[in-house]
Amino acid sequence: MADHAADHSLSRRHLLGGAAALALAPLSKARAAGTLTAGFIYVGPKDDYGYNQAHALAAKALKGMPGLEVTEEERVPETNAVEKTMESMIALDGASLLLPTSFGYYSPYMVAEAKKNPKIQFRHCGGLWTDKDPKNAGSYFGYIAQGQYLNGIAAGHATKSKKVGFVAAKPIPQVLNNINAFLLGAQSVDPSITCQVIFTGEWSLAVKEAEATNALIDGGADVITCHVDSPKVTVETAARRGAFVCGYHVDQSPLAPQKYLTGAEWNWLPIYKGFVEAMQAGKVPENFVRGGLADGYVKMSPYGPGVSDAARKNADAVKAEMMKGGYQIIKGPLKDNAGKEILAAGQGYPEKAPELESTNYLVAGVKGSV
């Protein structure tokens, strides 16, 4: 199935040889008259138990909306291949809303396509759009660090070694926020807890993810979480080694039913539905969309059997505070793991603080470097 989809996308891209695209474009637009077509692009497979699956689940749910057609491409690399896929969706499918979901799609690829196609709307998943970018582009994201903080609370109650581990892809602000939030959640239970992080360097590198998970456990970590595209390898490897796991992106509890504590999940459907409804009403979708637990953009996996009553009560109480808005995960007094002050006592960043979009540090207690 996936191989067929990959072949299909390659053939679509090859079809876009100059005149062929121009000739096909009017046909696709005529076919789609009166219907909005939204194009979703994924860097990996749609069934990865992770980042791509979270987006694909929302795309699937959209398919029931009247007056909407959905087209999708999976396994599109963060290269000019994504430009060709976007051009294909515009020319062959008549797409007028494009949703390239992977972080590396934004610049220069999506920005270039937005400049070339001013009548098409482009919305990207990540904290990147500014008012200096094309007005027919935009970005959306969720305050998923809230979920990782709650993961950390569950981890803090479960750890016996007082060491937790984090398998991370790249040291970009969103990933660093998640690492910091996970440890701070754990330290709210016990300030002596530390977190070792290992960066793999890529969003999807199964062998390195397995090696990193094993190295963290060999180093004493007994609760593991991650920020990679597909947590499947990390979850299964950790559980096989007897460690507890906290999930990310979607619910991975089926992969480790006894060792899964809880997980930070995305719910992209409200955002996508909002974009579609705006365009169907003849409006331009918002350029900058953010939200967290209170907005329904982030949710938590059900608790697993390893979560104690005390952990449930603790996490539920903090979640209730987060639902009110303005919750400060990053607050003073706080230093980074090199001893530099981040915030003085009495200072803090609520979830909507723009400063979090440029996080470039790891908090004290995280073992690892940016």
pLDDT in tens, 152-162: 999 999 999 99
pLDDT at 63: 95
Q: Is the dihedral of CA 336, 340, 341, 342 positive or negative?
A: negative
Alpha-carbon distance of 184 to 16, in angstroms, equals 49
- For residue 98, the model assigns a pLDDT of 98
Residue (of 198, 196, 226, 214) closest to 51 by Cα position: 226
State residue 125's pLDDT score: 96
Which tens digit of pLDDT belongs to each residue from 1-18?
333 344 444 445 445 544
CA pair distance 116, 138, nearest whole angstrom: 15
**What pTM was estimated for this model as a whole?**
0.89
Predicted confidence band at 33 (pLDDT cuts at 50, 70, 90)?
low
- E strand or H helix that includes residue 109: none
- Report DSSP letters for 156-179, one per residue: HHH-SSSEEEEEES---HHHHHHH
> Is the distance from CB of 84 to CB of 72 less than 8 angstroms?
no
Alpha-carbon distance 177 to 210, whole Å?
Answer: 23
Who's near 346: CB < 8 A, 6+ residues apart? 332
What pLDDT was estimated at residue 205?
Answer: 96
pLDDT band, very low/low/confident/very high, at 25 (cuts 50, 70, 90) = very low
Is pLDDT above 50 for 28?
no
Neighbour-count burial of 140, counting CB atoms closer than 10 A to its CB (0-12 exposed, 13-18 middle, 19+ buried) = buried
Mean pLDDT on 262-288:
97
For 318-342, what is each residue's pLDDT tens digit? 999 999 999 999 999 999 999 999 9
How far from 139 is each of 78, 126, 128, 234, CA to CA, in Å? 17, 6, 6, 28
Q: In this structure, how many other beta carbons lie within 10 angstroms of the beta carbon of residue 299?
A: 15
Higher per-residue pLDDT: 75 or 357: 75
Distance CA 225, CA 264 (A): 10
> To which H or E segment does residue 115 belong?
helix 111-116
pLDDT reported for residue 128: 82
Cβ atoms of 142 and 298 closer than 8 Å: yes
Which residue in the block uniquely carries the two structure tokens 């999976």? 74
Which pLDDT tens digit goes with each residue over 121-140?
Answer: 999 998 689 999 999 999 99
Query: 244, 155 in Cβ contact below 8 A?
Result: yes
Residue in the block written with tokens 């072949």: 7
Place of tokens 């950390």: 152
**Preceding amide of 100 cis, omega within 30:** no
Provide the percentage of residues in the chain whose pLDDT is more than 70: 91
Q: Is 50 exceeded by the pLDDT of residue 354?
A: yes
Helices (H) and strands (E) in the chain — how many of each? 11, 18
Q: Please, what is the angle between helix 81-93 and helix 2-15, to 10°?
A: 80
